Amino acid sequence: MVKKRQHSYKIATGLILLWLAAAALSTPATELLEGNSYTWGIRTPARLALEPGQIITEAVLTIHNVEAVRNDDPRPPCPTDKIHIYLLDNPRYGFWRLETLSSDSDPFTSLGNALTAKYENGNLICRLNKPDDRDSWASRIFGEQLPLKLADGTDSPMYPTLLEFIDYAATGVSAGFGIHLGTLRYRYENITLTLTVQSYEGDRSAETIVFQVVHTLEVAAVNGSVEITPDLTTYIDGATVTLEAMPHRGYLFNGWTGCIQRSDNPITIVMDGNKSTTARFR
pTM above 0.85, yes or no: no
* Of 104, 65, 273, 277, the residue nearest 186 (C-alpha): 65
Q: What is the pLDDT of residue 43?
A: 64
Q: What is the pLDDT of residue 51?
A: 77
Q: What is the pLDDT of residue 257?
A: 93
Where does the pLDDT of residue 21 fall: very low under 50, low under 70, confident under 90, or very high at 90 and above?
Answer: very low
Query: What mean pLDDT is reported for the chain?
Result: 78
Which segment, 4-18, 32-46, 50-64, is predicted with the most confidence on average? Answer: 50-64
> What's the pLDDT tens digit per position in 248-267?
999 999 999 998 899 999 99
Q: What is the pLDDT of residue 238?
A: 86
> What's the pLDDT tens digit per position in 70-127?
756 555 556 767 899 998 877 888 899 887 655 568 888 887 678 888 889 989 999 8
3-state SS, one letter per residue, for the chain: CHHHHHHHHHHHHHHHHHHHHECCCCCCCCEECCCCEEEEECCCHHHHCCCCCEEEEEEEEEEECCEEECCCCCCCCCHHHCEEEEEEECCCEEEEEECCCCCCCCCCHHHCCECCEEEECCEEEEECCCCCCCCCHHHHHHCCCEEEECCCCCEEEECHHHHHHHHHHHCCCCEEEEEEECCCEEECCEEEEEEEEEECCCCCCCEEEEEECEECEEEEECCEEEEEECCCCCEECCCEEEEEEEECCCCCEEEEEECCCCCCCCEEEECCCCEEEEEEEC
Q: What is the pLDDT of residue 19?
A: 41
Instruction: Round to whole Å and give the CA distance between 52 and 204.
Output: 10
> Is residue 29 pLDDT above 60, yes or no?
no
Instruction: Round to whole Å and give the CA distance between 96 and 63.
Output: 15
- Choice between 254 and 204, residue whose per-residue pLDDT is larger: 254
Q: How confident is the model over 183-201, as a mean pLDDT? A: 88
Where does the pLDDT of residue 130 fall: very low under 50, low under 70, confident under 90, or very high at 90 and above?
Answer: low
Inter-CA distances, 181 with 33, 74, 85, 100, 199, Å: 7, 20, 9, 11, 37
Instruction: Round to whole Å and give the CA distance between 207 and 54.
Output: 10
CA 225 distance to own-chain centroid? 32
Q: What is the pLDDT of residue 8?
A: 42
- Percentage above 90 pLDDT, the chain: 30
Lowest mean pLDDT among 79-88, 94-103, 147-156, 203-212: 94-103
Sheet holding 240-247, edge to edge: 224-229, 240-247, 267-270
